[in-house]
Amino acid sequence: MAAGKFKIALIQLTVGKDKNANLHKAESLIREAAENNARVISLPECFNSPYDTGCFPDYAETIPGGITSDCLSKLARECRIYLIGGSIPEKDGDNFYNTCAVFGPQGDFLGKYRKMHLFDIDIPGKIKFKESVTLTGGSELFTFDTEWCKIGIGICRDIRFPELASLYAQKGCKLICYPAAFSMITGPPDWEVLIRAIALQNQLYVTAISPARDDSPGACYTAYGHSMISNPGGDVIASTKEKESIVYGEVDLKRLDEIREGLPLMIQKRYDVYSPVKVITAGVCKVCHN
């Protein structure tokens, strides 16, 4: 692999009710991706637990220190990879979070990101889901450095809020990874559009990693699948459909630099006027601090 390039893998796995079986499946697919020279590997949202608010407290663990964190740390060390642990339910005191833990090639715990924008939705006759019944939203961004670039983390619904991606770009990220589990209602119209838009507007690589679709009788939640990688030009460079699979792609930082040099959005952003925002209404200048 040439300097300025690295291979990333997205693990789109089937998630069941047996936590140990989920971990064994994740381990097998991570090892396969590492053997295929992926240096950064990401799991999907809620990869060790059914995506069900009623299940989260029973499956929740401390991060680090729980069995899932220990498993991911061991895998990162043995495979010599950066491992983005999708997300799992986290217990911290009396609160529960939807949390992504990240581990480095030495097995070291690099930090964690707690989903900020919880999935509270009610579309009559289609879908009703409310994460906030069980979960608390996070309030901090999380980035980590690799020998290639800085990487930022979001989780699922966070991708709908462009401010988060813009902040990551401002902080120097050249890749944002979103473990996610869009539904069959929101996935078909929105998934690809959102991924490509975030990549294009912020001129960085974006990955979105979904569980495989489980539409069997008794399934708690049916994810859309279609894990995907977009480049800074908004092009889809790798994707899959709904079944269990590994998506591989190359992050080419030279190409990113070329795009940013040709269309220098990052240096043309007007942060000096974005906050506070000046709003002109009927000839009167008002200042909005929101």
Q: Which residues are catalytic?
A: 45, 115, 156
d(CA 163, CA 50): 29
Contact status, residue 284 vs residue 38, Cβ threshold 8 Å: no
d(CA 12, CA 71): 18
Structure tokens, 269: 């952003």
Q: Is 69 helix (H, G, I), strand (E, B) or coil?
A: helix
Inter-CA distances, 115 with 119, 135, 154, 255, Å: 9, 9, 7, 30
Other C-beta atoms within 10 Å of 117: how many? 17
Inter-CA distances, 159 with 19, 95, 155, 235, Å: 27, 23, 7, 17
User: What is the dihedral sign for C-alpha 158, 114, 230, 211?
Assistant: negative
Q: Is 276 helix (H, G, I), strand (E, B) or coil?
A: coil
Q: Is 63 helix (H, G, I), strand (E, B) or coil?
A: coil
Q: Is 271 helix (H, G, I), strand (E, B) or coil?
A: helix
Other C-beta atoms within 10 Å of 54: how many? 10
d(CA 237, CA 109): 30
